[in-house]
Amino acid sequence: MTAQIIPVAVFDLVVFGATGDLSFRKLMPALYWRESDQQMPEGSRIVGVARTQMSTADYVAQVEAACRRHVGDGFDEAVFARFARRITYVPLDVASREHWAALAEALAGGEDRPRLFYLATSPDLFGPISEGAGAAGIVTPEARVVLEKPIGRDLASAIRINDQVGRVFNESQVYRIDHYLGKESVQNLLALRFANSLFEAVWNRAHVDHVQITVAETVGIEERAAYYDKSGALRDMVQNHILQLLCLVAMEPPTSMTADSVRDEKLKVLRSLRMVADGDALQKSVRGQYRAGAGAGMAVPGYVEELGSPSRTETFVAIKAEVDNWRWAGTPFYLRTGKRLPTRVSEIVIQFHKVPHSIFPPGVGLVEPNRLIIRLQPDDGIQLELMAKDPGPGGMRLRNAPLDIRFADAFKVRYPDAYERLLMDVVRGNATLFMRRDEVEAAWRWVEPILQAWGTSEEPPKPYLAGSWGPTAAIALIERDGRTWFEEAH
Ligand code: BG6
């Protein structure tokens, strides 16, 4: 089957924070690929906005360098030339009326088109930029605003930002992005659950012993120290990406794929998460920080050396989460994520109950519980671990025999980056893969007591060696319950 390109309407896209890491690493390459796949309609315009004074030609040169670097072998001069013609650059200081007027001029003539304001900036600027755009008269009925995560740094700031943005854009115009929802493999989770009847009957507490969600990265803090040190792994990964994955695993079947059907079900899961009570947070969560070690086979410095100053910011988190509803009561969800772990892998492990009674004599081998492993990255696919008879003579011996589908082998198409899909969804006005205000706030509500408990605890994050699977306390967190982290495939 070949990939299908669904045409979109002619649109204008304004990227605020156009000279930042996200813009160069993700947004511009994603738009380049849409150009390459001929999905960019004739006449669509891209306006880069940032504080730096520079010409459009200089900005385009920076975009070209970024696309060459991130598109790699697929880079094509002719495609880039076409893409470059769409781009203009407008320097903008949020407080300057003249600058807003210059932006309005760059958008003139596009009043009836979908007009996207992509805020790839610090969340402190979401309010002021929205207000500035409102005051400049460029928020048309067809306008949409895309907010990058994190939305705030706690519940109060998230509410404040949502209020500020909400004074200019109505909720249906606000697209809160979580790029994990745009990953092919994450959408495949919806296909797995709701396009197959096989799993529904066993997708509950009666059959599932527990669920593990791991998002492991080998990288350190890269060039984002200033952002990361204020954020830490709980805010950077758990409040959004990991809780969204949890929602997709745990939610009830939505009535359809429309935005509100899906978001209503995710919200119910977030509201069912058991609040971590005072005094419980340190039992149910572990935070860690990497020390110098051997990340990806090379000696790498520790977090504080990379940062250049002392810090109590966590680069690793493990949490035991509980979903208090009929489907999942008593089936814990163990979550973990970290930087400088031994391998880059994101996966969801659904571990089923053990067989209730073994009919086999001693010595046949361990009858392991079945596991469904949903690998999100890299080489996404699905693996179902089954017990089978070891072939050949020698009596009955059992062993684990995985059924394994790797999507790259099964479907030979280029996998678009999450941002390609999500940007086009905003143009189409499809908000299914974006977070609604109440979801973001419910996620903060759950995360906040953990942040508070850590904030008041004397204990610093537990150290772990770069290149290891995090502090030993994370192993103890799951082993206390008689379970272990799934790591055998890595
Ligand atoms: C981002 C985080 O949202 O997701 C980064 O801010 C993290 O710290 C990144 O590295 C991981 O995304 P991916 O797509 O590489 O798994």
Q: Which atom of ligand 1 is nearest to the CA of 224?
A: 8
Q: Which atom of ligand 1 is nearest to the CA of 236?
A: 6
pLDDT over threshold 80, residue 417: yes
- pLDDT (0 to 100) of residue 168: 98
User: How many angstroms does the Cα of residue 358 sit away from the middle of ligand 1?
Assistant: 43
| Helix residue ranges per DSSP H, 367-466 | 407-410, 418-428, 437-456
| Contact criterion met (CB below 8 Å) for 211 and 201 | no
Distance of CA 342 to the CA centre of its chain: 20
Q: List ligand 1's pocket residues with C-beta within 6 A.
A: 217, 236
- pLDDT (0 to 100) of residue 5: 81
Consecutive H or E run containing 161: helix 155-166
- pLDDT (0 to 100) of residue 416: 83
12-148 CATH, one of 3.40.640.10, 3.40.50.720, 1.10.3720.10, 1.20.140.10 = 3.40.50.720
| Contact criterion met (CB below 8 Å) for 92 and 50 | yes
User: How many angstroms does the Cα of residue 465 sit away from the middle of ligand 1?
Assistant: 21
199-211 per-position pLDDT tens digit:
999 999 999 999 9
d(CA 201, CA 199) in angstroms, rounded, equals 6
Tell me what the mean pLDDT of segment 233-245 comes to: 97
The amino acid present at 344, given as its one-letter code, is R
Q: Mean pLDDT in the chain?
A: 94
pLDDT over threshold 60, residue 1: no
For the chain, the structural domain boundaries read 12-148, 181-415+439-479
256-310 per-position pLDDT tens digit:
999 999 999 999 999 999 998 878 888 999 999 999 987 666 789 999 999 999 9
Q: Which atom of ligand 1 is nearest to the CA of 227?
A: 6
44-90 per-position pLDDT tens digit:
999 999 999 999 999 999 999 999 999 998 899 999 999 999 999 99
Residues in CB range of 392: below 8 A, 6 or more apart: none
Tell me what the mean pLDDT of segment 84-98 comes to: 96
pLDDT band at 7 (very low <50, low <70, confident <90, very high): confident
What is the best residue among 25, 147, 217, 348 to mutate for testing ligand 1's pocket, by most ligand atoms within 8 Å of CB? 217
What is the best residue among 177, 218, 236 to mutate for testing ligand 1's pocket, by most ligand atoms within 8 Å of CB? 236
**Smallest CA separation from ligand 1 atom 9, residue:** 237
- pLDDT (0 to 100) of residue 392: 86
What is the best residue among 22, 179, 314 to mutate for testing ligand 1's pocket, by most ligand atoms within 8 Å of CB? 179
CA dihedral for 172, 13, 243, 313, sign (positive or negative): negative
Tell me what the mean pLDDT of segment 390-394 comes to: 85
- pLDDT (0 to 100) of residue 2: 46
Counting beta carbons within 10 angstroms of the beta carbon of residue 73, is it exposed (0 to 12), middle (13 to 18) or buried (19 or more)? exposed
User: How many angstroms does the Cα of residue 236 sit away from the middle of ligand 1?
Assistant: 8
> What 3-state DSSP class applies to 425?
helix
d(CA 66, CA 70) in angstroms, rounded, equals 6
Quote the percentage of the chain above a pLDDT of 90: 83
CATH class of residue range 181-415+439-479: alpha beta
User: How many angstroms does the Cα of residue 346 sit away from the middle of ligand 1?
Assistant: 11
Tell me what the mean pLDDT of segment 104-127 comes to: 96
**Smallest CA separation from ligand 1 atom 6, residue:** 236
Tell me what the mean pLDDT of segment 141-167 comes to: 96
Which residues are catalytic, by number? 241
User: How many angstroms does the Cα of residue 427 sit away from the middle of ligand 1?
Assistant: 23
pLDDT over threshold 90, residue 415: no
- pLDDT (0 to 100) of residue 451: 95
- pLDDT (0 to 100) of residue 278: 73
